[in-house]
Structure 1
């Protein structure tokens, strides 16, 4: 678990914001990923919410230099295996199940499991996890809630996702137990559909500077 924790942490520390993408059109995957990498956001979470998600992960893994593709919204062992086969270098789940923990234990690809309560965090800590996804961040209590976990659950690190915007991202990034945040604002639907890759690179550049 130690090696996988280090691998996951090194990916999440590449940038303060991990883009969370819902790709509807496969043709958008490569230029979108290139635009994000150009703006300094190399680790990219492609959610398994669309029929083209696996193809999008594979395309980014094969064709976008510098990108570190991951799969998000992974709900079961089957999706975990499919995402790894497509080229995912990390796996993200909104919550945690025994099935996911079992498949993750056997894989060399690290899992960022979701947690939202102290009990969930404690259970994952017992499993050897040190880095978790805090989801849904804003709805579950926001930065103030996450800050309150830092003392009783010392040593646990989080990537908050859900309701994170440029306006509140720094509230999270300033916390001692936050390694990065996940956000969809760096790839807004309107810009993606318009093919405004320069606009997305500008948003990515701004996001990459949030921790400065």
Structure 2
């Protein structure tokens, strides 16, 4: 599954910060059953490459799996070696973006300013991650949309709740990255499934 297909199916990225390899199968199954097709395991989680390998194998053909908090090109290589095909970063680093693009995997770098957005696109970003969204008003994205190429997909990430999605969608967000309101370490798969369903339902209502 490539990014275009996965994003078209569901423009929500599940950010599984703190996920352990033992939790990965149940959490991955719950998210995919709810409709998620994009999952990231941040590299500051316990044994993240093991979790990525488990999820990538288990969810092959059903979801795109990769890593978050990717900060250097060595980590890009490690994630790809583990089977990950999605490289998500909190910052705009042309070297990281370029390494992902050269390897043929999706790159979603974090940006905050228009300058960072255009630098990321020039380096080969697949889509842009406005981060941290909870430190910015939706009006900022609306203003950026006036100058960004129309086809560029922007995801709002940081503090997103189902109730806050409409304002961001109205400002031009194409999708969302969902963190602690969807998953926290130790959260039972059943509870993750319930929250995932709420996000999916809201997303469909906004489509």
Could you say which TM-score interval applies, normalised by the shorter chain? 0.7 to 0.9
Residue 50 (structure 1) aligns with: 45
Native 8 Å contact 2:101 2:124 kept in 1: no
Residue 148 (structure 1) aligns with: 143
1:55-134 paired onto structure 2 within 5 Å: 55-64=50-59, 66-129=62-125, 131-134=127-130
Within the candidate set 18, 22, 25, 1:23 is matched to: 18
Question: Where do 4+ consecutive residues of structure 1 move more than 4 Å?
Answer: none
Native 8 Å contact 1:16 1:210 kept in 2: no
Within the candidate set 150, 161, 171, 2:167 is matched to: 171
Once residues 101 and 65 of structure 2 are traced to their aligned partners in structure 1, the CA distance between those partners, rounded to angstroms, is 20
> Structure 2: which 5+ residue stretches go unaligned?
none
Native 8 Å contact 1:172 1:181 kept in 2: no
**Higher deviation after alignment, 161-170 or 119-128:** 119-128
- CA RMSD of superposed structures (Å): 1.9
1:197 lines up with 2:189 in the alignment: yes
Once residues 85 and 170 of structure 1 are traced to their aligned partners in structure 2, the CA distance between those partners, rounded to angstroms, is 37
Q: Which has the higher contact order (CA 8 A, sep 6+)?
A: 1
Aligned length in residues: 200
Once residues 191 and 46 of structure 2 are traced to their aligned partners in structure 1, the CA distance between those partners, rounded to angstroms, is 26
Relative to the length of structure 1, the TM-score reads: 0.85
Deviation at 1:203, TM superposition (A): 1.2
Once residues 29 and 64 of structure 1 are traced to their aligned partners in structure 2, the CA distance between those partners, rounded to angstroms, is 11
How far does the alpha carbon of each residue in 1:87-122 deviate from its partner, in whole angstroms, 9 at most, with x for none?
Answer: 112111111223213312421112111111011112
Once residues 121 and 38 of structure 2 are traced to their aligned partners in structure 1, the CA distance between those partners, rounded to angstroms, is 24
Relative to the length of structure 2, the TM-score reads: 0.87
**Higher deviation after alignment, 94-103 or 68-77:** 94-103
Deviation at 1:63, TM superposition (A): 2.0
Once residues 72 and 130 of structure 1 are traced to their aligned partners in structure 2, the CA distance between those partners, rounded to angstroms, is 15
Once residues 8 and 67 of structure 1 are traced to their aligned partners in structure 2, the CA distance between those partners, rounded to angstroms, is 9
Once residues 87 and 76 of structure 2 are traced to their aligned partners in structure 1, the CA distance between those partners, rounded to angstroms, is 7
Once residues 14 and 146 of structure 2 are traced to their aligned partners in structure 1, the CA distance between those partners, rounded to angstroms, is 28
